[in-house]
Chain A
Amino acid sequence: MAYVNAVKAVHEIRDPIHVFVKLDAQERAVVDSRFFQRLRHIHQLALTYLVYPGATHKRFEHSLGVMELAGRVFDVITNPDNVTDEIRKQLDPLKNASEADRSRWRRTLRLAALCHDIGHLPFSHAAEKELLPEGWDHERLSYEVIMHPDMQAIWREMSLYPEDIAKLALGRKKGERLGLEFSPWEEILSEIIVGDAFGVDRMDYLLRDSHHLGVAYGRFDHYRLIDTLRILPKREQGSEDRPPVPVLGVEEGGLQSAEALLLARYFMYSQVYFHPVRRIYDIHLKDFLTEWLPNGQFPTDLDKLVTLTDNEVLSGLLASARKGCRKGHVHAKRIRERQHFKVLYERNPTDVERNEDAGAAVYRAAVEKFGAEHVRHDSYRQKGGVFDFPVLRRNGEVVSALALSDTLKNLPLVSVDYVFVSRDKYDVACRWLKREHDRIIEKGVEEEDDETATEGGSADQADR
């Protein structure tokens, strides 16, 4: 019976997307930490379950999935058969690294992937910008958690550097703001997690959200895509006299899978993440939290934050909804009784041709007419870079994906603009807008070209 007390070397966790997520005993220590366990109680998609009832999955399983995919991508792109001499010369860890070094980077990457969301606020992205002090966001909170003494003890045990984990988890955009400096190798590894085109964070959430919501839009052949990922040189016009930049790209045979991923992203954004009812619930939740939270903001003290999950917020929300004297009552009641504001105006090409910011013009006019308490504005334009990555052709040439793929060239981008109005003003507001529409749109143009005017009160919500 020698096996009874033996420490299990590899743990397997059942997962609906990846079948099994495997981790070793040391990685398990991160999963068991109080910061990571908190993610069991943070919904992946905030209040989306009020629209798509299946959307009750949590950041916990998503983070496990991201770790699993990150390890798979690392194995493919560092496989010596998949690395060209040009790239090997540019990236030291591919040229000189010992097996121990390679193993340390692999583990760093997997744990960074595991921790990439570890600082998420309750209900995920809902309005973190307005509900945190200036200079804070969930990425900075994730950084603070990774650097926390509790976590440092775990990293020390594994001989890993917390700064490396933070860098790879946050990526260059967020990491630079925290003073982290990236080598080209670290940048490639961080791209594996947070990259615009091939980040495994995105791969996992598209597949997982799609699965739980019961929509097919988010599916794509991620097995094929991952197998064809490569580190490739990217060139710009007029940069022939300098070394090319190594970035993630694909072999030609994976181009269609990459197209499918980016189409899946577009469809999920337009059909799910920017569903108007989902968006207005986020706004009502933000309105509630602004009144309910002490000083209208989440704590940045980690010991306080760790005790605050969706459960505590939901409990507070239901209590506020029941009693008129409680803070945030009006907004909580709207959510509990599903009396959300309704769409009064939605961006459309005809109006946009006359006034690029037609939504803001309608919002300002509606506020003037019905009062700010009855009107909300939500606008979002797609962020991130151009989906142009290098493709390794069968003849060894490396070319631009955009030039090879009409699909990528014509891929639509997400741009939404909604004006919502309370239910008790809805009918009268619809009649008013029908009457005043043309005047509002034209007037808005004049107001915009005025440097003294202030920004409209739009609720430009964060990206997923």
Chain B
Amino acid sequence: MKRLQKAAVLTRLIDELRRRGSWAGETHVQKAGYLLQEVTGVPLGYDFVLYHYGPFSFDLRDELTALRADGLVTLEPHLNYGPKLATTPQAEKLQKNFERTLARYGPAIAFVAGKLGSSGVYELEKLATALHVTKELGEDASVEDRAKRLTEIKPHINLQEALKAVRRIDRFRTDARQIAARREAVH
């Protein structure tokens, strides 16, 4: 995907997250971007590594800063937390110029935002790390094994929470497959 196509997808993702009640800080967008790429197959092309709140891409972080440098995204500070991200009227224009790109990936963006919009950073951390361990151990690994691995990587997450996160990511992946299949059928 080219730079501006990616910009259209990311700004749409921020819009959709906010529309569904998300704080839409950088960490929220990171986790949503991870699921968008790894589960719904939107080819953003980022490498993710485990970081403070789970999978994180330094390239996506750079891209979000570049979007601000280009006047497509702004920050809304908050006294106690990291800032929220918001798109600008310029981003709206950009999205109009990328109708074909957004027609292709819009349903996946709406799906991910719909699933994650109400989640705070800790919930997103559990969910995204559950996906990470699923990729690490393989799809055939049991829910229990993956949950145990999750607690090893993130000792502040207890086993009950980990089990819940792994089951949630399995449902997420099942639903996402239908979105990806529909996209392939249409485009």
> Are chains A and B native binding partners rather than an unrelated pairing?
yes
Q: Which A residues have a C-beta under 8 Å from some C-beta of B?
A: 172-173, 176-177, 234-243, 245, 352-353, 355-357, 381-386, 388, 399-400, 402-404, 409, 413-415, 445, 448-451, 453, 455
Asked if B171 CB lies within 8 Å of chain A CBs, one says no
Residues in A neighbouring B51, C-beta threshold 8 A:
172
Q: Is B119 a contact partner of A449 (Cβ separation < 8 A)?
A: no
Q: Which of B81, B97, B100 contacts A237 (CB 8 A)?
A: B81
Q: Is A409 a contact partner of B75 (Cβ separation < 8 A)?
A: yes
**CB of B32, distance to nearest CB on chain A (Å):** 13
Asked if B170 CB lies within 8 Å of chain A CBs, one says no
Q: Is A402 a contact partner of B66 (Cβ separation < 8 A)?
A: no
> Quick one: closest A residue to B119, CB to CB?
A238
Also in contact, A242 and B4, with CB within 8 A (given A234-B82, A383-B66) = no
Also in contact, A449 and B121, with CB within 8 A (given A236-B82, A385-B26, A403-B79) = no
> Quick one: closest A residue to B94, CB to CB?
A356
Residues in A neighbouring B4, C-beta threshold 8 A:
356-357, 448
Question: B57-65, B137-145, B172-180: which lies at the A interface?
Answer: B57-65
Asked if B125 CB lies within 8 Å of chain A CBs, one says yes
Asked if B7 CB lies within 8 Å of chain A CBs, one says yes
**CB of B136, distance to nearest CB on chain A (Å):** 14
Q: Which of A172, A240, A449 contacts B98 (CB 8 A)?
A: A449
Given contact pairs A381-B65, A409-B75, A451-B100, a sample of 19 additional A-B residue pairs in the complex whose CB atoms are under 8 Å apart? A235-B82, A236-B25, A237-B23, A238-B120, A241-B122, A353-B90, A356-B7, A357-B4, A381-B66, A381-B69, A382-B66, A382-B68, A385-B26, A385-B61, A386-B26, A388-B82, A400-B83, A413-B65, A448-B5
Give CA–CA (A400, B82) in the complex, Å. Answer: 7
Give CA–CA (A353, B92) in the complex, Å. Answer: 11
**CB of A103, distance to nearest CB on chain B (Å):** 28
Also in contact, A239 and B120, with CB within 8 A (given A445-B97, A453-B2) = yes
Q: Is B77 a contact partner of A238 (Cβ separation < 8 A)?
A: no
Q: Is A238 a contact partner of B80 (Cβ separation < 8 A)?
A: no
**CB of B113, distance to nearest CB on chain A (Å):** 16
Q: Which of A235, A241, A382, A450 contacts B65 (CB 8 A)?
A: A382
Please indicate which of the listed interface residues A353, A385, A453 has the most CB atoms of chain B within 10 Å of its own CB.
A385
B14-65 contacts to A, CB under 8 A, are 23, 25-28, 47, 49, 51-53, 58, 61-62, 65
Please indicate which of the listed interface residues A235, A236, A403 has the most CB atoms of chain B within 10 Å of its own CB.
A236
B interface residue count range (under 10 / 10 to 19 / 20 to 34 / 35 or more): 35 or more
> Quick one: closest B residue to A408, CB to CB?
B77
24 contacts between A and B (CB under 8 A): A235-B81, A237-B28, A237-B78, A238-B123, A241-B122, A242-B122, A242-B157, A353-B93, A355-B97, A356-B70, A381-B66, A382-B68, A384-B62, A384-B65, A386-B82, A388-B82, A388-B83, A400-B79, A402-B83, A413-B69, A415-B69, A415-B70, A448-B5, A448-B97
Give CA–CA (A382, B122) in the complex, Å. Answer: 29
Give CA–CA (A449, B104) in the complex, Å. Answer: 11
Q: Which B residues have a C-beta under 8 Å from some C-beta of A?
A: 1-5, 7, 23, 25-28, 47, 49, 51-53, 58, 61-62, 65-66, 68-72, 75, 77-83, 90, 93-94, 97-101, 104, 119-125, 156-157
Give CA–CA (A243, B77) in the complex, Å. Answer: 22
Give CA–CA (A383, B69) in the complex, Å. Answer: 9
> Quick one: closest A residue to B71, CB to CB?
A352
**CB of B89, distance to nearest CB on chain A (Å):** 10
Give CA–CA (A453, B101) in the complex, Å. Answer: 13
Q: Is B156 a contact partner of A242 (Cβ separation < 8 A)?
A: yes
Q: Is B79 a contact partner of A399 (Cβ separation < 8 A)?
A: yes
Give CA–CA (A385, B26) in the complex, Å. Answer: 9
Give CA–CA (A381, B66) in the complex, Å. Answer: 5
Q: Is B122 a contact partner of A235 (Cβ separation < 8 A)?
A: no
Give CA–CA (A445, B75) in the complex, Å. Answer: 27
Which are the 9 A-B pairs with shortest beta-carbon distances? A238-B120, A381-B66, A413-B69, A402-B77, A415-B69, A383-B62, A236-B121, A403-B77, A237-B23
Also in contact, A384 and B61, with CB within 8 A (given A445-B97, A451-B100) = yes
Q: Is A239 a contact partner of B53 (Cβ separation < 8 A)?
A: yes
Residues in A neighbouring B66, C-beta threshold 8 A:
381-383, 415
Give CA–CA (A386, B76) in the complex, Å. Answer: 12
Residues in A neighbouring B90, C-beta threshold 8 A:
352-353, 356
Q: Is A402 a contact partner of B75 (Cβ separation < 8 A)?
A: yes
> Quick one: closest A residue to B26, CB to CB?
A386
Q: Which of B2, B23, B27, B65 contacts A455 (CB 8 A)?
A: B2
Residues in A neighbouring B81, C-beta threshold 8 A:
235-237, 400
Give CA–CA (A451, B1) in the complex, Å. Answer: 7
Please indicate which of the listed interface residues A238, A243, A388, A399 has the most CB atoms of chain B within 10 Å of its own CB.
A238
Q: Is A352 a contact partner of B5 (Cβ separation < 8 A)?
A: no
Give CA–CA (A384, B82) in the complex, Å. Answer: 15
Also in contact, A400 and B53, with CB within 8 A (given A381-B70, A448-B5, A453-B2) = no
Give CA–CA (A242, B156) in the complex, Å. Answer: 7
**CB of A16, distance to nearest CB on chain B (Å):** 32
Also in contact, A386 and B65, with CB within 8 A (given A235-B81, A236-B82) = yes
> Quick one: closest A residue to B120, CB to CB?
A238
Q: Which of B2, B80, B104, B123 contacts A235 (CB 8 A)?
A: B80
**CB of A175, distance to nearest CB on chain B (Å):** 10
> Quick one: closest B residue to A240, CB to CB?
B122
Give CA–CA (A404, B3) in the complex, Å. Answer: 33
Q: Is B122 a contact partner of A239 (Cβ separation < 8 A)?
A: yes
Q: Is B25 a contact partner of A237 (Cβ separation < 8 A)?
A: yes
Give CA–CA (A437, B4) in the complex, Å. Answer: 20
Residues in A neighbouring B78, C-beta threshold 8 A:
237, 400, 403
